[in-house]
Structure 1
Amino acid sequence: MPNRTSRPTPARPAVTAPRPARSRRPLLGGPAPILTASLLWGTTGTASSLAPAGAPAASIGCAALALGGILLLLTSRRARSLPARCTRSERWLLVLGALAVAGYPVTFYPAVARTGVAVATVIALGSAPVLAGLLSWFTGRARPTARWTGATSAAVLGCALLVLGPRLTGAGTPVDLTGVLLAALAGLSYAVYASIGGGLITHGHESGAVMGALFGAAGLLVLPLAPFVDVTWLGTVRGAAVAGYLALFTVYLAYRLFGHGLRRTSASAATSLTLAEPAVAAVLGVAALGERLPYVSWCGLAVLGLGLVLPHPPVKGAATEGR
């Protein structure tokens, strides 16, 4: 009889109590924040098209980076003290990462001007995940798996069909080799700062501090370019609104989310997931700007979506997994 009454112990159900909190942890990092950041980046083209006529594309990109990057630096906890808490090698990585961040708008927007949005987007965004995977492999941080290779290949192919569809179905124009090189450099810049940011976060530094330090330093680096580009458009109501949106949403908020995502996603997977950006841009172009897409582009959108929904633990030995 004593045995029967002592059998139900109230302590045991308490063991399962922490589970709800544990299930919420992946929301702090992983694919969801990165895909949300990609959605915000996909609005860049539509937003920048609303800038005053004559506003240079490079000037728009640099203004967004300067305003958003410095805002990230000022509002990210411990971002300004991050260099003091880094090792000597990590400080050099911060410098290299800031240069890579600043190099993206300096190379990508001129590439768009020379080759057009389609070719520049394919080369920059299509090369970034491949380069990020190779960087992780060469530095010994992680090794690409067959699943990552398949998902990334599908996403890159879909991206190419999506943005090159109009050229493939219509009269094409000669490709500017200088523009192609600039777009490839933009893809390399993206891969470098994503890899550096992911590595620093993996080594224990706060994601907000890392993104704030990288983008704040990059914003300061592009400020000296202001005298050499036309910034008069910023003095108009429309120009200020466009710059404010790009700075707040496509830089400040998007890269906060991107940093959170890098806690549990390797840089190679993150750059593959950001191939959702051209899909969002294409849909917005059709819905908001009245653009039309040929059937090849819609097929590319479907292939791109398939590549993005495939399981994305992309690399073996990734330190971010399970963290």
Structure 2
Amino acid sequence: MKGKLSPLLILLAAMLWGTTGTTQAFAPETAHPIAIGATRLAVGGIFLGLMVLLIGKLDLKHLPIKTTILASLSMALYQPLFFSAVSITGVAIGTVVAIGSAPILSGLIEWLYLKKRPAKVWWCSTFLSIIGCLLLFSNNESVNVDPVGITMALGAGVSFAVYALVSSTLVEGRSSLSVVAVVFTLSAIWLSPFLFIFDMSWILSFRGIGASLQLGIMTTGIAYFLFAKGLIHVSASTAVTLTLAEPLTAAVLGVFLLGEYLNIISWLGILFLLLGIGILIWPFRTPANEKELSIAQK
């Protein structure tokens, strides 16, 4: 039963990440995207730290130092790289390159370094999902194909792929809450200088406090805890492909909460995303298929 719920936990995490853009839209206009990313990790790290202390599951003795630092650096790098890429190339290109490249890079890293060959269903799902992303953002007119922005977006994709892969090893036989609490506390420390570089007066406003709590607690603390929990029974490459539900959620929220318009091609992209995610979840419905998928990935 736990194995069947794992992909659903990752999907729920991706849906929470999908609210990030909508939350930023309601944040004060003076809030710099990189400052928002640093605040997000700071609040998320504090929240997770308090939770793990209250529950009493903090375990620092058995965490491998090098792997933990790598995970925290990967997440810390992802924030400024992604937000900078989006600011340079626009939301459409930045999101498609960063989020779309992550599943492919994750699968290649698993294949090259862990000798785990992705299953055929993963290739099919990833292809459909990435096509869906391209179609979904095709109606966005604010496109600027800047080489620096594209490089940053690819860097963000690599960072997230590495984070997912490293985290999947950290949660093996350990408390998921303890792992994410330590990783995100370290990530917040790495990004803390940004809190002193940019103007942070916006955080004292009502909208600033609300946005910070939503981004820190919901889209970081709870979302990454669910993601780590799902990684226990789902491979990193499969998990990263499932996170493509993030742009799908963002697009739907944009339509219903922000009044954004999606053309027929974009709705077709949503259909491709749903198909891609659906065929990836299907093997987890029965123990036999789940076992077959696991063998195919080895």
TM-score (norm 2): 0.90
Unaligned runs of 5+ in 1: 1-22
Are 1:121 and 2:77 an aligned pair?
A: no
Identify the residue that residue 212 of structure 2 maps to in structure 1. 243
> In the alignment, does 2:20 pair up with 1:44?
yes
Which residue is equivalent to 1:19? none
Provide the rounded CA distance (Å) in 1 between the counterparts of 2:82 and 2:108. 21
The answer on whether the counterparts of 2:89 and 2:143 sit within 8 Å (CA) in structure 1 is: no
Q: Distance in 2 between matches of 1:317 and 1:287?
A: 40
- 5 Å-filtered alignment, 1:23-42, equals 23=1, 25-26=2-3, 29-42=5-18
Q: How many residues align?
A: 286
Q: CA 1:95–1:249 in 2, change beyond 3 Å: closer, same or farther?
A: same
Residues 1:179 and 1:98: Cα distance change in structure 2 (over 3 Å): same
Residue 266 (structure 2) pairs with residue 297 (structure 1): yes
Moved more, 73-82 or 300-309: 73-82
Which structure has the larger Rg over C-alpha atoms?
A: 1
Corresponding residue of 1:136: 110
The answer as to whether partners of 1:79 and 1:213 remain within 8 angstroms in 2 is: no
Q: Percent identity?
A: 38
**Residue type of the alignment partner of 1:68:** G
Q: Which of the residues 100, 111, 122 maps onto 2:85?
A: 111
Q: List gaps (5 residues or longer) in structure 2.
A: 284-292
Q: For structure 1, which segment, 137-146 or 226-235, has the greater mean C-alpha deviation from structure 2 after superposition?
A: 137-146
Q: How many angstroms apart in 2 are the aligned matches of 1:213 and 1:316?
A: 32
Q: Structure 1 residue 163: deviation in Å?
A: 1.4
1:196 aligns with 2:170: no
2:151 to 181, 191, 196: 181
Displacement of 1:78: 6.5
Amino acid at match of 1:268: S
Please list every run of at least 4 consecutive aligned residues from structure 1 whose deviation after the TM superposition is greater than 3 angstroms.
77-81, 311-319
Task: Determine which of 45, 58, 62 is the counterpart of 1:85.
Answer: 62
Identify the match of residue 56 of structure 1 among 28, 32, 52: 32
1:279–1:301 CA contact under 8 A, matched in 2: yes
The code of the aligned residue for 2:241 comes to S
Q: Measure the CA separation in 2 of the matches of 1:110 and 1:315.
A: 37
Q: Return closer, same or farther for 1:154/1:315 CA change in 2, 3 Å cut-off.
A: farther
Find the aligned partners of 1:79 and 1:60 in 2 and give their Cα distance.
29
Q: How many Å separate the matches in 2 of 1:130 and 1:70? A: 32
1:63-86 per-residue CA deviation (whole Å, 9 max, x = no partner) reads 01111023213322677533x213
Which one of 200, 208, 227 corresponds to residue 196 of structure 2? 227
Gap change, CA 1:53 and 1:311, over 3 Å in 2: closer
Letter in structure 1 aligned against 2:221: Y
Question: How has the CA–CA distance of structure 1 residues 80 and 219 changed in structure 2, closer, same or farther, with 3 Å as cutoff?
Answer: farther
Partner of 1:67: 43
CA–CA distance in structure 1, aligned partners of residues 216 and 120 of structure 2: 37
Between 292-301 and 64-73, the greater mean CA deviation after superposition: 64-73
RMSD: 1.8
Letter matched to residue 24 of structure 2: S
Which secondary structure does the structure 2 equivalent of 1:164 belong to? coil
Matching of residues 252-267 of structure 1 within 5 Å? 252-267=221-236
Between the aligned partners of 2:120 and 2:148, the Cα distance in structure 1 is 33
Distance 2:205 2:48 in 1: 24
